[in-house]
Amino acid sequence: MTDTIFQKIIDKELPADIVYEDDISLVFKDINPVAPTHLLIIPKKRIEKVSDSTKEDEELLGHLLLVAGEVARKLGLEDTFRLVINNGEGAQQTVFHLHIHLISGRKLSWPPG
């Protein structure tokens, strides 16, 4: 597996506007935002896509969602954000390192996509 841009951000080889970091995860601003607030929440462990996760990743996956809530509260977004996970090329995943988009700051329509 070659390093993704996200791994290079984790390793501090590439700069990012980091909003939150702990031993397990990293949250930073998307460089191509689709809304005024567009963050990426990633695990430091490399999982290419959510469908590649295993039972071993259960705690990590839950942690990512808790981090999303914590960051949203800190930014005052409480109940005005959407979380999106694209899984695979057919779902428009472009970086193959699991990531959750936290999107807020504009009217979001349904259904998405």
Active site residues: 99
Paired residues of 39 in beta bridges = 29, 102
How far is Cα 102 from Cα 20, in angstroms, rounded to an integer? 13
C-alpha closest to that of 100 among 58, 64, 52: 64
